[in-house]
Structure 1
C-alpha cells in the first residue's frame, strides 16, 4: 500500500521538437499535493499495489479503466511513485479556453482534434517516442456496470507504432465519489483500490488479439481490486458494486442498452437544436 506523496518538478526533454529543449513540470506537483490533502482530509484509504511496474524512463501507454468523472486523478496516481507524470489526450477546444487552456498546457497534456483521428493518433505516438507516459481510457466512456466493457484498439495501435509497452491499470472506489447517473458523494471514509499490472508489448501482427489480451489483463486487475475492497464497503445491493458481485449496478448488457439510449437521445437533441437554428436563420 502506498500514499501519493509530493514529487519535485521533473525536467523532461521533448525529442519531437527540431531542437531538444527542457521543460519544467510546475503545476503537476501542486495538483498532486492538493489531491494528497483531499485524500487525507476525506479520510480516504488508498490500497495501491504494482507501482514497481511503472518504468522509470521511456515511453509507455497507460491503459486505465473508466468508471468515474474523477478518473484523471486515479490515472495520474501510479506514475508519481516513480516521479513520472502521465500526459492525457484532450480535445483541442479545451486548450483554447482562457482558463483551462493554460492549465492543460502547464500539465503538458496532449491537444487532439477529434475530427482528425489520424492527427490525434500521431500526437500520441510522437509523445510516446519522446519518452512520455500517455494515459488512455480504452473503454472511451464511463462503464455504468463498473466492469470492463468492450475496449477500443487505439491503445494497442499506439504502442505498436511507437514501439513501447502497455501498462494495464485498474481501480475501484472513486466512482463512489462521482460517476454517471449518481449524485456526488463527498462523505468521509471511502477506500480506493488501485492495481498496476505488468507491462506487455503487443506483437502487432493481430491488433484484435492484442486488444483482447489488454481487456483480459484489465479485467483480471479489476477483479483483484474488487476482491481487495473492504467487505463492509460493498454490501449486497449497493449501487456501486457490480451485479456479478452482489450489487445493484447494471449488468454489462443493461449498461450497453442504457448507453445506446443515451447516445440516441443526445443525437436527437442535437438534431432538434440544429433544426431550430436553421429555422431561426430563415425566419
Structure 2
C-alpha cells in the first residue's frame, strides 16, 4: 500500500523528540520481525503510546498499524492522519469488522499494534488482558511480540494535564522475545504468559528508569515503588466509576434522541 502519510509523520515526530531532548532507551528491537506479519502487544500508560510503540519497531524498518478506538478516527484532525497511516478503527459495539481487518493485514505481512489492556492503566501496572491478541496471532499464524513503554505518562496520561513540551523526559521502550502460540494451545494460559512477560518488561523499565520523581511529582510513579499512583485495586474502582458515568451519559443521550 502507498505510504504517503506515515513517513512524514515519523520524520516530524523524531524532529520534535530531538527538539524536546527526549532521552530514549530502546532495547530488544531485534525481536521485531524484519518481514512478515506480527502482533505487537504493549502496555498502555499514556495517550501517546502508539507513537512510542511505533518507534520501537522503526529500527526493524517496520510500520505498525495500530488498532484504536473509532472515536479517534472521528476527530477532524487525528482522523485523517490515522486513516492515512492505515491504522484500524475499533468499534467496541461491533468488533468483528476490526478483527477481520486486522487479520487480513497480518496475513498480508503487516505488523499490528495492540494495547491489550484496552484503556490506560491508572496504576501504571499491567491490567488484566483478554485473549484477542493471542487468538489473532494464531489465526494469522504470526508471532506475538511483547513490549513495555515507560516515561510517556509524564507527558500526557489519564486524569493529568497535558505537558507535551516538557523537555528532557527519559522514554524507555523494551521489546521482548516473540511468542509463537499455535492452534490447540490454551489461549487463556498463553494470555497469562503474555501479560507476565509485559509486566516483567515494564517492571524492569520502571526499576531501571534514570529519573526519580520529586515529592510533588510522585503521581507518575507506581505505588509499589513508593509512588502516588493508585494501586491496581484503587485504579479498578476508578475505572468502574468512570464506566458507570459513561453509561449514564449514553443512556441520557439516547433518551433525549428518542424523546
Bin for the TM-score computed over the shorter chain:
over 0.9
TM-score, structure 2 normalization: 0.92
Question: Residues 28-86 of structure 1: CA distance to partner in whole angstroms, max 9, x if unpaired?
Answer: 12111111111111121001111111110000000011110111111111111011100
Residues in 2 aligned to 1:277 and 1:105: alpha-carbon distance in whole angstroms? 30
Residues in 1 aligned to 2:73 and 2:238: alpha-carbon distance in whole angstroms? 31
The answer on 1:252 being equivalent to 2:246 is: no
> Which residue, 210, 213, 217 being the options, matches 2:190?
210
Q: Structure 1: which 5+ runs fail to align?
A: 1-22
Q: Which residue of 1 aligns with 2:112?
A: 134
Q: Residue 270 and residue 199 in structure 1: after superposition, are their counterparts in 2 closer, same or farther (change >3 A)?
A: same
Question: Residues 71-109 of structure 1: CA distance to partner in whole angstroms, max 9, x if unpaired?
Answer: 111111111101110011245565566655543332122
> Which residue, 150, 159, 165 being the options, matches 1:181?
159
Q: Residue 240 and residue 269 in structure 1: after superposition, are their counterparts in 2 closer, same or farther (change >3 A)?
A: same
Q: Which residue of 2 aligns with 1:276?
A: 256
Q: Residue 248 and residue 92 in structure 1: after superposition, are their counterparts in 2 closer, same or farther (change >3 A)?
A: closer
Residues in 2 aligned to 1:32 and 1:217: alpha-carbon distance in whole angstroms? 28
> Is residue 47–residue 192 contact of structure 1 (8 Å, CA) maintained in 2?
yes
> Is residue 235–residue 247 contact of structure 1 (8 Å, CA) maintained in 2?
no
Q: Which residue of 1 aligns with 2:246?
A: 266
Q: Which residue of 2 aligns with 1:194?
A: 173
Q: Which residue of 2 aligns with 1:169?
A: 147
Residues in 1 aligned to 2:246 and 2:79: alpha-carbon distance in whole angstroms? 26
Shift of 1:25: 1.5
Residues in 2 aligned to 1:39 and 1:53: alpha-carbon distance in whole angstroms? 24
Residues in 2 aligned to 1:143 and 1:107: alpha-carbon distance in whole angstroms? 25
Q: More displaced, 56-65 or 198-207?
A: 198-207
In terms of Rg, which structure is larger?
1
SS state at 2:142 partner: coil
Q: Residue 235 and residue 167 in structure 1: after superposition, are their counterparts in 2 closer, same or farther (change >3 A)?
A: farther
Q: Residue 148 and residue 235 in structure 1: after superposition, are their counterparts in 2 closer, same or farther (change >3 A)?
A: farther
TM-score, structure 1 normalization: 0.85
Q: Which residue of 1 aligns with 2:201?
A: 221
Q: More displaced, 234-243 or 48-57?
A: 234-243
Q: Which residue of 2 aligns with 1:39?
A: 17
1:24-103, aligned counterparts within 5 Å?
24-91=2-69, 100-103=78-81
> Is residue 213–residue 221 contact of structure 2 (8 Å, CA) maintained in 1?
no
Q: Residue 68 and residue 24 in structure 1: after superposition, are their counterparts in 2 closer, same or farther (change >3 A)?
A: same
Question: Residues 218-276 of structure 1: CA distance to partner in whole angstroms, max 9, x if unpaired?
Answer: 00000111122014347697000000011000000100000000000111122222223
Q: Structure 2: which 5+ runs fail to align?
A: none
SS state at 1:89 partner: strand
Q: Residue 259 and residue 99 in structure 1: after superposition, are their counterparts in 2 closer, same or farther (change >3 A)?
A: closer
Q: Residue 105 and residue 274 in structure 1: after superposition, are their counterparts in 2 closer, same or farther (change >3 A)?
A: closer
Number of residue pairs the alignment of both structures matches = 257
